[in-house]
């Protein structure tokens, strides 16, 4: 008894101390189960509860010297539960009594101090995790809430607000305070304009739904928006022909919901082929690419249409001067199933507009033309052009259980052209048929095993078909014909896992399998010059097995590190490729941050470089799979280093880089009389990207500048000498301004870049030849663009909205030269051949108008 009594007194003392204990606690969006386990340990308590009651619930608590009752009250305001005391140590966690009484809340979200509205702020009810986003005036409304619910308002770069429903009044004014204490949040916030942000992992995030206006755009064109970022440009003025830090478009990995997109442009690149109104977010990586992304040596553009089931029916439709579209998002089966569908189609084959004619003129100017002996245009008496493009997507999201989700996505892109000319006087004619199709599907099963571990099992397939058939007749006699076919079939499977080591550390790992099959066939017949005829065909396939692992640690106020490695095994040749990846950021001071990234990447499927196209002019895309012999693997090494500075609304971002690419393949047409000859080379790129931006309330201005040097070396063409690459554009500058006034938005921007290289050709007895490759430079390119939009509602509830937009491209009608090519006219038998220089001209002055309705 003497031994037991002191022990009993210690237990009583400890229990009394625990019951009166006060703790410091900080939890940000932490699982309810983890919070309860922490409270059991800190207060020496035991909780009894139904697991289904607390799963998928998140808690946010931050406070000092809180006793258990104060903690209980904070939790009860965030989730519909109550703590019922059974004894001093035991509690039951029960469902809060539910009544039939629900209310609606509404409010305006604005910046504290300036009073500026915050469009696109995320407003979520924390119990059921349903919500909306604010409109252009910062207004939002949520229906069917209970009085114990809590509303969370979040916007990148601002302190998150939690407001209990019971504290709401009608149209409550909610002032958001800028987060000046967490550098991590500041660097994730608005990069150029609303909807464009930069993450600590070095990627850029674009959200079309809340994207602010950009120069020349009245709608959020997916790929045009990317060209506002330093280091990304389109030398040929195409929306989809993106060159990321000197890399060619085929070296980019473009994914839409996991489906690889091989042809990403409508109207042969003039318009993005991805519908922005069902694209939830676009992630862009220029360097330090995550190890889970493979088979590309340049940038990654990852487009996601959303992972959540729509909570209500919403949709919209609209049109501009080139196409019309519609989309619909709807929940089904008591919100356990969601469907998202979209469709776009051009109507230029039905109704012509000034905008369409301007785009068409620019696109088709290098296509088949008739020329007189003196080289002047001979306009055919009849010209029949039938062209249209479409894209269609559908996505289903099924919530199988609280831990399991299944999604299915399908994408269809198509461009089709029939082009005929006929001169009844000279009896000259041409026929061209071109069809490009990209089909794909993607299935994902996601399983959340615990708060720390989850995995995704993915299966996808993509199919690309290119079919061209053209012919040319002079004076009734067949002169030339060309047949080109290019096909890609790929099937990919992936197991991706994420283990959360702690709140600051994550481990990503997985396995990917890819099957690729490519084929092409080119038959060119020149009946007057049979020696120039050729026939090239090839078909190859391979199986690729890849393993990857990544470790990430994120201490926002101090540093961020993401390092990984990817191992690829090519089954056909038995080769192994090791690809290390790295991105790190370090806080040097409150306003200054240092960044470093590097990667080694390989690519097995790419396009052959054609220096000259002498046929119709749009059919020069030729994808092929590397075999390590005739078609080598593309291999790149890249390293970059930079600084980011943020203070008083000013933002500076500067980054230098070096990239080396090996394994380039060139079909040397124009440089050799042997049309079946392939040359192999490499590419070295040195560059610097710079951005400066200033925001003053509703006004934003920024300057984006890149300087780069891109050189080629093809020993079969120019020995061991380096020469300027095809897209060696040394200086690229963009200056943009945007301003919002109530429901109006305005934007004005100026683009400038130095001319790209081209080869000066000469005509001799052997035909067209050039002794100097890319020895000339085109004149500088520049243009001024303007755009404006006005948004209005049809009801006070803002449930249905409309937006009209107007834009002007190339306001001062600059005649920019994009490319220079050469061809021969005349009869070689009479020795009156002539060399004609053909210049590709940019888009001239082009207005556009758009209208959208959404509900």
Mean pLDDT in the chain? 84
Give every CB contact of residue 401 below 8 A, 6+ residues apart in sequence: none
Evaluate whether 205 touches 196 at the Cβ level (below 8 Å). Answer: yes
pLDDT at 162 over 80: yes
Q: How much is the pLDDT for 669? A: 39
Instruction: Give the neighbor-by-neighbor strand order of the sheet with 161-164.
Output: 130-133, 122-125, 150-154, 161-164
pTM over 0.75: yes
How far, in Å, are 222, 264, 395, 461 from residue 441 at the CA level?
20, 16, 10, 6
Give every CB contact of residue 352 below 8 A, 6+ residues apart in sequence: none
> What gap in Å lies between CA 88 and CA 45, rounded to an integer?
8
Q: Compute the Cα dihedral for 370, 372, 378, 383 and give only its sign.
A: negative
Give the domain 304-854 fold: Maltoporin; Chain A (2.40.170)
* Residue with token string 């075999």: 627
For the residues 269-276, what does the mean pLDDT come to? 88
Q: How much is the pLDDT for 621? A: 66
pLDDT at 205 over 50: yes
193-202, 239-248, 534-543, 657-666: range with lowest mean pLDDT: 193-202
Please write the tens of the pLDDT for every residue from 735-748: 999 998 888 999 99
The candidate with the shortest Cα–Cα distance to 226, out of 171, 285, 174, 184, is 285
* Other CB atoms within 10 Å distance of the CB of residue 541: 15
> What gap in Å lies between CA 454 and CA 222, rounded to an integer?
30
- The secondary element (H helix, E strand) that includes residue 841 is strand 834-841
Q: How much is the pLDDT for 383? A: 65
> What gap in Å lies between CA 531 and CA 210, rounded to an integer?
58
For residue 800, what are its two tokens?
A: 């249905």
Which top CATH class is 99-179?
mainly beta
25-29, 254-258, 486-490: range with lowest mean pLDDT: 25-29
Q: State the angle between helix axes of 32-43 and 68-78 in degrees (0 to 180), rounded to the nearest 10.
A: 170
Please write the tens of the pLDDT for every residue from 310-335: 888 999 999 999 999 999 999 998 88
Q: How much is the pLDDT for 534? A: 81
The candidate with the shortest Cα–Cα distance to 758, out of 742, 781, 741, 774, is 774
The candidate with the shortest Cα–Cα distance to 745, out of 692, 784, 700, 799, is 700
> What gap in Å lies between CA 576 and CA 599, rounded to an integer?
16
The secondary structure of residue 30, as a DSSP letter, is: E
Give every CB contact of residue 211 below 8 A, 6+ residues apart in sequence: 193, 194, 195, 196, 220, 225, 276
Alpha-carbon torsion, ordered 217, 219, 222, 226, to 10 deg: 30
Residue 74, helix vs strand vs coil: helix
How far, in Å, are 261, 268, 461 from residue 256 at the CA level?
7, 19, 12
CATH of domain 15-95: 3.55.50.30
State residue 372 phi and psi, 5-degree precision: -75, 175
> What gap in Å lies between CA 468 and CA 481, rounded to an integer?
11
pLDDT at 179 over 50: yes
Domain ranges of the chain: 15-95, 99-179, 304-854
Please write the tens of the pLDDT for every residue from 467-486: 988 888 877 777 788 888 99
* Residue with token string 């892109």: 413
Q: How confident is the model at residue 637 (pLDDT cuts 50, 70, 90)?
A: very high
* Residue with token string 């000092």: 64
């Amino acid at each position: 008894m003497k031994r037991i009594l002191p022990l009993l007194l210690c237990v009583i003392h400890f229990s009394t101390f625990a019951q009166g204990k006060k703790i410091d606690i900080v939890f940000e969006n932490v699982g309810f189960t983890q919070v309860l386990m922490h409270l059991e340990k800190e207060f020496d308590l035991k909780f009894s509860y139904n697991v289904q009651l607390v799963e998928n619930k998140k808690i946010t608590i931050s406070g000092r010297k809180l006793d258990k009752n104060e903690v209980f009250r904070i939790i009860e305001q965030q989730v519909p539960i109550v703590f019922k005391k059974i004894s001093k140590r035991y509690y039951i966690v029960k469902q809060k009594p539910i009544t039939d009484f629900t209310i609606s809340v509404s409010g305006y979200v604005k910046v504290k101090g300036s009073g500026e509205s915050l469009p696109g702020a995320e407003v979520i009810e924390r119990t059921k995790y349903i919500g909306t986003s604010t409109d252009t005036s910062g207004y939002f409304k949520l229906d069917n809430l209970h009085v114990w619910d809590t509303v969370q308002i979040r916007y990148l770069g601002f302190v998150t607000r939690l407001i209990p429903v019971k504290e709401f009044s009608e149209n409550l004014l909610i002032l958001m305070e800028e987060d000046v204490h967490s550098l991590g949040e500041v660097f994730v916030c608005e990069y150029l304009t609303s909807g464009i942000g930069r993450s600590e992992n070095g990627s850029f995030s674009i959200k079309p739904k809340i994207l602010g206006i950009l120069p020349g755009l009245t709608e959020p064109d997916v790929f045009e928006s990317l060209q506002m970022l330093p280091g990304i440009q389109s030398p040929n003025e195409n929306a989809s022909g993106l060159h990321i830090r000197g890399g060619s478009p085929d070296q980019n990995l473009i994914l839409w919901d996991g489906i690889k997109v091989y042809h990403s442009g409508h109207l042969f690149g003039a318009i993005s082929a991805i519908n922005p109104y069902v694209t939830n977010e676009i992630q862009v990586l220029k360097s330090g690419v995550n190890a889970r992304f493979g088979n590309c040596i340049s940038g990654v553009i990852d487009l996601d249409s959303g992972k959540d089931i729509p909570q209500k029916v919403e949709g919209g439709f609209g049109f501009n001067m080139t196409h019309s579209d519609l989309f619909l998002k709807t929940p089904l089966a008591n919100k356990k199933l969601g469907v998202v569908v979209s469709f776009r189609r051009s109507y230029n084959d039905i109704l012509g507009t000034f905008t369409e004619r301007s785009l068409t003129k620019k696109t088709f100017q290098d296509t088949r033309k008739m020329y007189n002996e003196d080289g002047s245009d001979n306009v055919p008496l009849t010209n029949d052009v039938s062209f249209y493009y479409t894209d269609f997507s559908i996505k289903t999201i099924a919530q199988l259980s609280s831990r399991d989700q299944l999604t299915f996505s399908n994408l269809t892109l198509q461009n089709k052209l029939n082009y005929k000319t006929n001169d009844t006087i000279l009896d000259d004619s041409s026929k061209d048929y071109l069809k490009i199709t990209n089909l794909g599907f993607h299935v994902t099963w996601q399983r959340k095993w615990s708060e720390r571990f989850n995995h995704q099992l993915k299966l996808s397939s993509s199919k690309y078909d290119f079919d061209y058939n053209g012919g040319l007749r002079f004076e009734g006699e067949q002169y030339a014909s060309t047949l080109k076919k290019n096909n890609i079939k790929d099937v990919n499977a992936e197991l991706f896992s994420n283990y959360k080591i702690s709140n600051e550390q994550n481990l990503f790992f997985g396995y990917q399998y890819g099957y690729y099959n490519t084929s092409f066939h080119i038959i060119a017949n020149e009946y007057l010059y049979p020696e120039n005829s050729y026939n090239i065909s090839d078909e190859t396939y391979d199986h690729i097995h890849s393993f990857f692992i990544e470790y990430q640690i994120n201490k926002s106020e101090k540093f961020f590190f993401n390092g990984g490695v990817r191992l690829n095994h090519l089954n056909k040749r038995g080769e192994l490729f090791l690809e290390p990846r790295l991105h790190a950021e370090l806080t040097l001071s409150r306003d200054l941050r240092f960044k470093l990234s590097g990667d080694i990447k390989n690519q097995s499927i790419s396009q052959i470089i054609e220096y000259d196209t002498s046929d119709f002019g749009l059919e020069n895309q030729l994808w092929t799979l590397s075999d390590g012999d005739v078609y080598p693997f593309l291999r790149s090494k890249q390293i970059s280093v930079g600084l980011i500075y943020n203070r008083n609304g000013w933002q500076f971002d500067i980054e230098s880089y070096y990239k080396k690419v090996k394994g380039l393949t060139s079909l040397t047409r124009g440089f050799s009389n042997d049309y079946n000859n392939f040359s192999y080379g490499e590419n070295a790129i040195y560059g610097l990207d710079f951005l400066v931006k200033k925001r003053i309330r509703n006004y934003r201005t920024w300057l984006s500048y890149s300087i780069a040097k891109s050189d080629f070396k093809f020993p079969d063409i120019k020995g061991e000498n380096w020469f300027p690459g095809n897209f060696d554009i040394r200086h690229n500058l963009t200056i943009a301004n945007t301003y919002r006034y109530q429901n109006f938005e305005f934007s004005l921007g100026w683009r400038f870049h130095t001319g790209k290289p081209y080869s000066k050709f000469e005509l001799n007895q052997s035909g067209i030849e050039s002794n100097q490759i890319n020895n000339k430079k085109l004149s500088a390119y520049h243009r001024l663009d303007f755009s404006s939009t006005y948004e209005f509602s049809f009801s006070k509830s803002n449930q249905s909205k409309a937006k009209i937009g107007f834009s002007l491209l190339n306001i001062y009608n600059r005649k920019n030269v994009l490319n220079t090519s050469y061809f021969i006219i005349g009869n070689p038998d009479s020795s009156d051949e002539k060399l004609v220089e053909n210049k590709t001209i940019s888009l001239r002055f082009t207005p556009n108008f758009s209208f959208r309705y959404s509900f």
